[in-house]
């Protein structure tokens, strides 16, 4: 028995399709709008989705794009509409829809589309892209700049700080269902056959300075043939052309690579976006079957936001995956984040070298106040500012806790999350 999700704002159509498909032996769920559909989809993965294009809150094509951007478009989707144009149908197909039904929908056409959709091999979840973050001004603007530059050039150079979001940015330029070839992971000469098979896809290099001489030649070989095979080259580096030339790069190739470039923000600049990045990465990993079903608590998200991420996006993804694999409960807590990122930190709360002797030299009252401030700062950070969890952790009644934090000059910190 297949699980089918029917999304349509017209109750009559939902009921009719549900009745027909239930009679055919399918398990049918319905949603009247994109909001309900998102919530349902976040909890489970259907075998097939019938998705109306015109809906009052969010249209079907936009919802399809959201699922594709977040790695959740790993089930066949058949679009439905009574007013859609050919361009709309083509766009939906480009994004990942497997079929299109024109309203009013005949029974035979419905059953044929459902049968064909269910017979398709399960889709693998697409990689995460910047399209998954429409609420972040920085990431939204970066996506627009990337698309503008890519519209004029098949080769795009990403000028990145050491801790950045190189792969996330590059994946944004990968068309749905097209090839992704990491030049830095191949030690064999690249051939015309490989380029032809990858037609329409992306050739990627995460750091030019790490390429071997053979890989540099592969990149130069591909650079001359991008147009012929409708390929795009997305390369990144933290170095300038002079430094790369000193490492043996062909200066003519460097001139072409550095002709059009775009700067990327560092993870420090994207600090407030880290919780959203981590949540989407976790969703992608769950959908791909790489980790069990897990979610990050608010406190865990805050703990991730406070980390400096010196190794950038790849480090964040690795940490999220490790947390999900090691978590004993469905919800990942702040303490698990702290234990992974700062092993042993919980045993001695943020006491810098030499501070303990300094405390011991103080009068008892001053030493106690210094320790209490360190103690509460430490647990406020671990608990993400949650007063409820802080009260439980410290064993203090909330009124007493508020007074204590105020006396220590930490009252403002306690207002961050007073649930």
What would the DSSP string read from start to end of 219-262?
Answer: HHHHHTTTTTTT-EEEEEESS-HHHHHHTT--HHHHHHHTTSEE
351 and 344 Cβ atoms separated by less than 8 Å? no
Helix axes 364-382, 298-306, angle to 10 degrees: 110
pLDDT at position 344, please?
58
pLDDT at residue 414 is higher than 80: no
Residue whose structure tokens are 């064999």: 188
Tell me: pLDDT of 208 over 80: yes
Task: Report the distance separating Cα 71 and Cα 68, nearest Å.
Answer: 5
Residues 9 and 338: their CA atoms lie apart, in Å, by 45
Q: In this predicted structure, what is the pLDDT of residue 362?
A: 80
Give percent of the chain above pLDDT 90. Answer: 60
Q: State the CB neighbour count (10 A cutoff) for residue 22.
A: 12
Q: How far apart are CA 292 and CA 317, in angstroms?
A: 15
Per-residue pLDDT, averaged over 132-153, amounts to 94
Would you say residue 412 has pLDDT above 70?
Answer: no
Q: Which residues pair with 79 in a beta bridge?
A: 51, 100
Q: How does pLDDT run across 187-197, given as a tens digit for each residue?
A: 899 999 999 99
Determine the 3-state secondary structure of 217 from DSSP. helix
Tell me the pLDDT tens digit for each residue of 81-125.
Answer: 987 678 888 888 888 899 999 999 999 999 999 999 998 866 666
Position 35 scores a pLDDT of 92
Question: Helices 398-407 and 387-394 sit at what angle, rounded to 10 degrees?
Answer: 100
Q: Does the pLDDT of residue 254 top 90, yes or no?
A: yes
The answer to pTM > 0.85 is: no
> Which tokens is 190 given?
């690249």
Question: How does pLDDT run across 140-150, given as a tens digit for each residue?
Answer: 999 999 999 99
- pLDDT confidence of residue 122: 61
pLDDT tens string 155-167: 999 999 988 999 9
Which position has the higher pLDDT, 292 or 416? 292
Domains of the chain with bracketed CATH: 3-119 (3.40.50.2300), 130-263 (3.40.50.300), 271-347 (1.10.8.60), 355-414 (1.10.10.60)
């Amino acid at each position: 028995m297949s699980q089918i999700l029917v999304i349509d704002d017209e109750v009559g159509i939902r009921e009719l399709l549900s009745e027909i498909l239930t009679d055919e032996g399918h398990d049918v769920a319905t949603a009247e709008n994109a909001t309900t559909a998102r919530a349902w989809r976040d909890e489970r993965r259907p075998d097939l989705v019938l998705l109306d294009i015109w809906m009052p809150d969010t249209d079907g094509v936009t919802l399809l794009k959201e699922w594709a951007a977040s790695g959740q478009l790993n089930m066949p989707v058949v679009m439905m509409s009574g007013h859609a144009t050919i361009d709309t149908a083509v766009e939906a197909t480009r994004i990942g829809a497997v079929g299109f039904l024109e309203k009013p929908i005949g029974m035979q056409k419905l059953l044929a589309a459902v049968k064909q959709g269910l017979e398709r091999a399960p889709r693998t979840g697409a990689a995460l892209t910047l399209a998954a973050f429409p609420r972040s001004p920085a990431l939204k603007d970066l996506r627009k700049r990337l698309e503008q530059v890519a519209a004029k050039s098949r080769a795009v150079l990403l000028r990145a700080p050491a801790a950045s979001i190189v792969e996330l940015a590059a994946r944004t330029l990968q068309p749905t269902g097209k090839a992704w070839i990491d030049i830095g992971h191949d030690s064999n000469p690249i051939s015309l056959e490989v380029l032809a098979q990858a037609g329409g896809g992306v050739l990627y290099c995460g750091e030019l300075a790490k390429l071997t001489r053979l890989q540099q030649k592969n990149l130069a070989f591909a650079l001359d043939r991008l147009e012929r095979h409708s390929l795009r080259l997305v390369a990144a580096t933290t170095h300038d052309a002079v430094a790369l030339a000193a490492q043996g790069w062909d200066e003519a190739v460097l001139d072409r690579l550095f002709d059009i470039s775009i700067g990327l923000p560092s993870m420090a600049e994207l600090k407030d976006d880290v919780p959203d990045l981590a949540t989407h990465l976790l969703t992608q990993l769950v959908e791909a079957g790489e980790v069990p079903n897990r979610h990050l608590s608010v406190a865990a998200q805050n703990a991730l936001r406070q980390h400096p991420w010196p190794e950038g996006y790849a480090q964040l993804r690795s940490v999220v995956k490790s947390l999900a694999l090691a978590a004993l409960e469905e919800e990942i807590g702040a303490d698990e984040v702290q234990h992974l990122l700062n092993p042993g930190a919980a045993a001695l709360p943020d006491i810098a070298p030499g501070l303990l002797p300094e405390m011991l030299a103080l009068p008892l009252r001053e030493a106690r106040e210094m320790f209490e401030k360190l103690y509460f700062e430490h647990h406020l950070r671990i608990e993400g500012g949650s007063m409820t969890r802080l009260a439980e952790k410290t064993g203090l009644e909330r009124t007493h806790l508020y007074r204590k934090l105020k006396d220590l000059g930490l009252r403002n910190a306690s207002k961050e999350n007073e649930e």
